[in-house]
Structure 1
Amino acid sequence: MKKTNKTVIITGTSRGIGFELAQLFANNNFNVLALSRNTNTLEAVNHPNIKTFGVDLSKENEIDTVVDYLTKNNIKLTALIHNAGKLVNKPFTEISQKDFQEVYQVNVFSVALLTQKIIPFLQENSHVVTISSMGGIQGSLKFPGLAAYSSSKGAVITLSELLAEEYKEQKIAFNVLALGAVQTEMLQEAFPGYQAPITPNEMANYIYDFATTGHKFYNGKVLEVSSTTP
């Protein structure tokens, strides 16, 4: 990793939007700390500005390895992007408590835990961006089978709004991007055969621009980034 005052943490970087986003930041002179359970895909890219961490975000001791790295290297962050997500598509009466817990663990509890741990490393005018879904927007079209996923994506929106208020005096901005359909592996697993109009690379470019400039214009906001339904 090179010496720079621009460092970002991105979660869920093994595939899809997160995989593209990590490379985009790295190619734009950021040091990227990439967190995901599977690090093989990004390690194969072998980008000098990307450091991968094999982290299960549900385990506090594994998050602490990232905290230790930040502490030892005296790193201050310019952005934290919560991109990791888990989706279960089952009829409501078939969704188990384990399904609900696993979805909320990744989509809500781990977002809260990682943010708690990272707050001390966020510099003034830093930006915390949480990737949510149109399914979490009150009044938006809902899809049967996504009770756990969509409700968790609504919860994380409220969490971000609250944190924006709590940390505004420290000049840390918290915003949410509620995405529509993007042609990712996760979408294909949930909606087999559906063809989304937006590629992961296109959405990564949008998120990059928002993460690097959006905090100047927004705090505690939810932006709906959707041209279609789902």
Structure 2
Amino acid sequence: MAIVLITGASSGIGYQAAELLAQKGHQVYGAARRMDELESLKKFGVNPIYLDVTNQASCEEVVRAIIEKEGKIDALINNAGYGSYGAVEDVSLEEAQRQFEVNLFGVARLTKLVLPHMRKNKFGRIINISSMGGRVTTYFGAWYHATKYALEAFSDALRMETKPFGVEVSLIEPGGIKTQWGFIAADHLAESAKGGAYEKAAQKAAIGMRRQYSGNMMSDPKIISKTILKALDSRKPRARYLIGFGAKPIVFLHAILPTRLFDWIMMHSS
């Protein structure tokens, strides 16, 4: 049994992962800001805990509380994150910074807090939920992809640094997953472009995103939960798990196609 802290546990992938890990016998702390949406996890044995990953004091309190009760944290699953789409010219720097605060610096805050305990125990698992969007860039997704590309580099460096201490770092890189993520990103895109030079193209792209996420092609989020469990339980977890609809073929095409041809595909894929 591992002592696990998972962020963004109030919905979607985080909720399902917390449920699955608890059912498999792990002691899970499901963290999020929306405590009311964590309540239903109690019936699976998950311990709900308030956390704002953008707040240093909140992060410190969560880690302190778990260490005080359990004596250790075996695994940190950095799942909290969101996608805010929009043209670079349209998206405010405040919104861009907020996305980095959640998607990257929140990961860094918790990682820095749990690492001393993991090093002391000579064991740890840090599982960062990235995206195939950390390997390829889609239309109007500059700031979202910037955070995920950064998370990939952060995780790669962290993996090398922590390996001598028995801490393994893995990236989960989902493709198209049937959650509310696509609708939220599409709404941000449409709203940010209103009245601007990119409005027509952005509205078209947003309609395409909603259509894709309303269809039946997207993968069930349960495949991500199962992959997180695999990375947690494996004696030698992989550095990367590229899974879900479109992930492997799109990353492959990005690697072999000329850049401008791949750009054209992304701009017309919706």
With normalisation by structure 1, the TM-score equals 0.88
Q: What is the rounded CA distance, in whole Å, between the counterparts of 1:156 and 1:45 in structure 2?
A: 28
Change (3 A) 1:197 1:146: same
Change (3 A) 1:207 1:67: closer
| TM-superposition CA deviations, 1:83-113 (whole Å, max 9, x none) | 1112111122101101110110011111011
2:20 corresponds to which of 17, 24, 27: 24
Q: Percent of counterpart pairs with the same letter? A: 25
2:75 corresponds to which of 67, 72, 79: 79
Match of 1:181 in 2: 176
| TM-superposition CA deviations, 1:7-37 (whole Å, max 9, x none) | 1110111110000000001111111111111
Could you tell me whether the CA contact under 8 Å between 1:81 and 1:128 is conserved in 2? yes
Could you tell me whether the CA contact under 8 Å between 1:11 and 1:82 is conserved in 2? yes
1:68 corresponds to which of 49, 64, 68: 64
Q: What code does the residue aligned with 1:216 have?
A: K
1:209 aligns with 2:265: no
The alignment yields a C-alpha RMSD, in angstroms, of 1.8
Aligned length: 220
Give the helix-richer structure, 1 or 2.
2
Who wins on radius of gyration, i.e. which is larger? 2
| TM-superposition CA deviations, 1:177-223 (whole Å, max 9, x none) | 1111101111222232323421122321222222221x5143xx333
Q: Secondary structure at the match of 2:153?
A: helix
Q: What code does the residue aligned with 2:150 have?
A: A
Q: Secondary structure at the match of 2:37?
A: helix
Could you tell me whether the CA contact under 8 Å between 2:174 and 2:243 is conserved in 1? yes
1:172 aligns with 2:167: yes
Could you tell me whether the CA contact under 8 Å between 1:26 and 1:47 is conserved in 2? no
The Cα of 1:228 is off from its aligned counterpart by: 1.2
1:223 aligns with 2:221: no
Match of 2:2 in 1: 6
Q: What is the rounded CA distance, in whole Å, between the counterparts of 1:78 and 1:181 in structure 2?
A: 29
Deviation beyond 6 Å, 4+ runs, structure 1: none
With normalisation by structure 2, the TM-score equals 0.76
Structure 1 stretches lacking a partner, 5+ long = none
Q: Secondary structure at the match of 1:94?
A: coil
Q: What code does the residue aligned with 1:43 have?
A: E
Q: What is the rounded CA distance, in whole Å, between the counterparts of 1:174 and 1:77 in structure 2?
A: 14
1:119 corresponds to which of 97, 115, 121: 115
Match of 1:88 in 2: 84
Q: Secondary structure at the match of 2:38?
A: helix
Aligned counterparts, 1:16-165, within 5 A: 16-47=12-43, 49-122=45-118, 123-137=121-135, 140=136, 142-165=137-160
Could you tell me whether the CA contact under 8 Å between 2:19 and 2:44 is conserved in 1? no
Q: What code does the residue aligned with 2:115 have?
A: I
Q: Secondary structure at the match of 2:122?
A: strand
Structure 2 stretches lacking a partner, 5+ long = 186-208, 251-270
Q: What code does the residue aligned with 2:180 have?
A: E
Change (3 A) 1:202 1:65: same
